[in-house]
Amino acid sequence: MKEVPRRIYYLFSPFLRIFHWVMVVAIVVLFVTGLLITKPMGGLSSEPTFTMLSMAMIRNIHFLAAFAFTAAFILRVYGFIVNKGDRLFPRVWEGQFWRATMDVSLHYALIQPSHKPYLRNPLARMSYVGLYVMVFIEMITGYAMYFMTAPSAVGGTLFGWANVVLGGEFITHLVHHYVAWFIILFAIGHIYMVIRADIMEGEASSMFSGIKILEHEPLDVGEIEDKKNS
């Protein structure tokens, strides 16, 4: 049996991994509770007492998850700034990024049998831009509705304009609801892609360990400070 030399690259900091999983849990909780708020199960909306299944409890869980997600996202942005390996935002100003994106796209479209080795999938990095936009919309619309009860508060000043721009709370709610579904569709595609990449490159496991193990030196290795072992 021929031994294939492999290299170990330290990619994702503990900082990124912790807040990645905090946001994953928060998104699941937000989506489930959001569905219950939008369309309560029988008895939840009319229950007169405060129980574990009351709508008040569901709403409070939704709000707490939103606060946790917001804090984790802000800290994730901080990690994006200070840790080279955590910088998932693509370098759209570089021609090499677009060549790499085309290379991976042709492979995923089954036009070419493989793509060159990359530490961070350029096509996935581009998709994160769309995710960040959707997250931003969810934060703006969510807090716009949350602070409607206190429009004079700081939060009402920061986010209340969204209700005006969108034409009222009902439209804000619809935007918030449908963008949430787009985030879930993104998550489904993301899960599929990381499972596929984990089989081929160790992608999903790297979000637990922080490292990737590759047979060939990736073309984008210069973007990070890495540790290499044969």
Give mean pLDDT, residues 218-224: 71
Which residue carries 């900082």 as its tokens? 15
* DSSP assignment string, 148-200: GG-TTSHHHHHHTHHHHHHTSHHHHHHHHHHHHHHHHHHHHHHHHHHHHHHHH
For residue 1, pLDDT beyond 70: no
Residue 10 per-residue DSSP state: E
Q: Give percent of the chain with pLDDT exceeding 90.
A: 27
Specify whether the CB–CB gap between 142 and 173 falls below 8 A. Answer: no
Indicate if the alpha-carbon torsion angle 132, 136, 208, 89 is positive or negative: positive
CA atoms in the 13 A half-sphere facing the CB of 159: 21
* Confidence label for 226 from pLDDT (cuts 50, 70 and 90): very low
Q: Give percent of the chain with pLDDT exceeding 70.
A: 82
* Confidence label for 119 from pLDDT (cuts 50, 70 and 90): confident
Angle formed by the axes of helices 55-82 and 122-146, to 10°?
140
Query: Phi/psi of residue 57, each to 5°?
Result: -65, -40
Tell me the pTM.
Answer: 0.79
| Counts of helices then strands in the chain (DSSP H, E) | 8, 2
In this predicted structure, what is the pLDDT of residue 153? Answer: 74
Euclidean distance between CA atoms 171 and 140, whole angstroms: 13
Specify whether the CB–CB gap between 206 and 9 falls below 8 A. Answer: no
* pLDDT tens digits for range 91-109: 778 788 888 889 888 887 8
For residue 30, pLDDT beyond 80: yes
Euclidean distance between CA atoms 148 and 142, whole angstroms: 10
CATH number, domain 7-223: 1.20.950.20
The percent of the chain in helix, strand and coil, each rounded to the nearest 5, is 65, 5, 30
Instruction: Break the chain into its structural domains and give their ranges.
Output: 7-223
* CA angle, residues 134, 129, 207, in degrees to nearest 5: 100
* pLDDT tens digits for range 40-92: 765 554 555 445 567 888 899 999 999 999 999 888 888 777 776 666 677 77
* pLDDT tens digits for range 166-218: 998 899 999 999 999 999 999 998 888 777 777 765 555 777 777 777 777 77
